């Protein structure tokens, strides 16, 4: 009875692994695009199942089922590597993983059926598991880890555990006596269960924290970005402009409003798909002219707004370059005609002036349209307006 209770107690850790796998699978059901969660969940389920099965086996049964349980462990280790590789968008190197798995399974067969040795099986299996887990490690490093502490902690905890998996039988043998097989194996098994559980909890926590952070970042991007042009939308522009304009160390600032000329004709003549292409081309031309502190937004339709950290003269030069770049692109419209854009430009010094300056620049844009389009109108001192 005490032996049965001890074995049932050992099932607590595999059960926790299975629960963690179920939790990650549940998170994947909510975030279907994040397949790395499903792969890690599969890894936890496979390893947890193998641990539970082996926890109830005798030494003779461990020998008999060594190849089968080895397959569960190895595929679980590769699933874990596949999940991490998917998170960082690199390859898990399945062919090399298949080769490692085949070699390890052959060794498990040999040391369970030909030359029986529990410790040789453990050495081969742990070495294979560690190598399997490390398959994507080098490629992740070559992509350069992000500066965020959460991702670095997740990566290095995974590397440390993979290395620990590979060498822990050797370390355990170095401090123990190989002659005490049963007691020694029990001690090793408890140590292995404890380290596996600690890592599983730590990695699941870090993985979920990174996934939640990535989800929140994606939601903020969806809220703030125009999906067609990948520019800021009106709300995000106004939120970002305030802090910039409040900083006295920055400036001068100039506000530009640009509007594509005859855009309705483009949509009506060549369709909305081509109109979308024109909008994306204009967005690309605008972003080519800005610097790190500048803002570019699509306010809706064919209207674009720029907040540039420069004076009126330089802002006018930038608008003229954009206008000429688009005008000279004769492949933008199917009939080879020129595509033109008009601008209204006004200076701004504080966030309280944002609404008024937008109206002022919009008024100048309207004047440019009325004067024949393909023009840049600039607010001048003493209310002087210059046309070009």
The residues annotated with a catalytic role in the active site are 302
Given the structure tokens 């190895």, which residue do they identify? 74
Q: Compute CA distances 360 → 83, 257, 346, 383, whole Å.
A: 53, 10, 7, 11
- CA dist., res. 36 & res. 210, Å (int): 12
Question: Exposure of 223 by Cβ count < 10 A (0-12 exposed, 13-18 middle, 19+ buried)?
Answer: exposed
Query: Helices (DSSP H) in the chain: which residue ranges?
Result: 2-10, 12-30, 35-55, 59-64, 66-88, 94-109, 118-133, 137-142, 149-175, 181-224, 234-246, 263-270, 272-288, 312-327, 354-370
Which tokens in the block code for residue 186?
């029990």
Could you tell me if 225 and 214 are in contact, meaning their C-beta atoms sit under 8 angstroms apart?
Answer: no
- End-to-end, the C-alpha distance of the chain in Å comes to 96
Which tokens in the block code for residue 105?
């399974």
- CA dist., res. 163 & res. 202, Å (int): 16
DSSP per residue over 107-158, as a string? Answer: HHHIIIIIS--HHHHHHHHHHHHHHHHTTTHHHHHHT---S-HHHHHHHHHH
- CA dist., res. 137 & res. 159, Å (int): 7
Residue 58: phi and psi, rounded to 5, are -85, 175
């Amino acid at each position: 009875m005490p032996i049965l209770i001890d074995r049932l107690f050992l099932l607590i850790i595999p059960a926790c692994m299975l629960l963690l796998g179920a939790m990650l699978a549940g998170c994947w059901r909510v975030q279907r695009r994040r397949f790395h969660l499903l792969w890690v969940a599969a890894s936890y389920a496979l390893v947890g199942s193998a641990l539970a099965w082996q926890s109830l086996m005798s030494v003779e049964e461990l020998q008999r089922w060594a190849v089968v349980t080895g397959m569960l462990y190895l595929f679980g280790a590769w699933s874990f590597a596949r999940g991490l590789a998917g998170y960082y968008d690199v390859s898990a190197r399945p062919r090399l993983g298949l080769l490692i798995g085949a070699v390890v399974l052959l060794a498990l067969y040999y040391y369970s059926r030909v030359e029986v040795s529990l410790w040789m099986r453990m050495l081969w299996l742990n070495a294979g598991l560690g190598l399997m887990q490390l398959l994507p490690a080098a490629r992740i490093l070559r992509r350069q880890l992000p500066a965020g502490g959460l991702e670095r902690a997740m990566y290095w905890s995974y590397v440390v555990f993979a290395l620990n998996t590979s060498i822990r039988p050797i370390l355990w043998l170095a401090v123990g006596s190989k002659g005490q097989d049963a007691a020694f194996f029990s001690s090793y098994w408890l140590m292995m269960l404890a380290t596996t559980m600690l890592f599983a909890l730590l990695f699941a926590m870090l993985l979920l924290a990174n996934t939640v952070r990535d989800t929140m970042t994606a939601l903020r991007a969806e809220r703030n970005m125009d999906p067609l042009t990948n520019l800021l939308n009106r709300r995000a522009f106004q939120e970002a402009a305030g802090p910039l304009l409040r900083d006295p160390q920055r400036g001068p600032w100039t506000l530009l409003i640009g509007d594509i000329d005859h855009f309705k004709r483009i949509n009506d003549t060549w369709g909305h798909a081509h109109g979308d292409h024109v909008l994306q081309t204009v967005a690309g031309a605008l972003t080519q002219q800005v610097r790190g502190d500048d803002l570019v937004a699509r306010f809706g339709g064919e209207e674009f707004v720029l907040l540039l950290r420069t004076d009126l003269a330089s802002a006018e030069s930038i608008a003229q370059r954009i206008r000429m770049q688009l005008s000279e692109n004769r492949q933008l419209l199917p009939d080879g005609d020129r595509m033109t854009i008009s601008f209204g430009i006004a200076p701004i010094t504080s966030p309280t002036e944002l609404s008024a300056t937008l109206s002022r620049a919009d008024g100048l844009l309207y004047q440019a349209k009325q004067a024949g389009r393909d023009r840049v109108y600039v607010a001048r001192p003493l209310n002087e307006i210059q046309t070009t």
